[in-house]
Amino acid sequence: MVPTLLLFGLVAGRWWKSALLLGCVGWVAIGLQQGFVDTVGSAAAAGAVALGNTAVGVAVHQALLFCWRYLVARRGEEADVH
């Protein structure tokens, strides 16, 4: 579960709101279909755990995107100086 949702968050992290929603709802739907989510409480717990795991993947994606943009902008500034 954890690697799947982390990977989903990393891949879909550009659209973070949709990624969080789909990760949470999708994992609960899979749990209902597979039978390991059978009560409202277990659905809420599964959704919360899925949300947290997807959020970590999204956060890593957003951090890498921020670093990439910073490095590209800094590289452009150095090119103007020379």
Which position has the token pair 């659209």?
Answer: 15
Predicted confidence at residue 79, as pLDDT, reads 60
**How do residues 44-56 score in pLDDT, each as one tens digit?**
999 999 999 999 9
**Range(s) of the domain holding residue 68:** 2-81
* pLDDT per position as a tens digit, 10-66: 999 999 999 999 999 999 999 999 999 999 999 999 999 999 999 999 999 999 999
Query: Residue 73, by phi and psi: left (phi above 0), alpha (psi -120 to 50) or beta?
Result: alpha
Q: Which candidate, 16, 20, 41, places its Cα nearest to that of 31?
A: 41
pLDDT at 76: 77
Domain count, the chain: 1
Task: Specify the pLDDT at position 2.
Answer: 81
Of the CA atoms within 13 Å of residue 65, those in its CB half-sphere come to: 13
Average pLDDT of the chain is 91
Note the pTM of the prediction, 2 decimals. 0.84
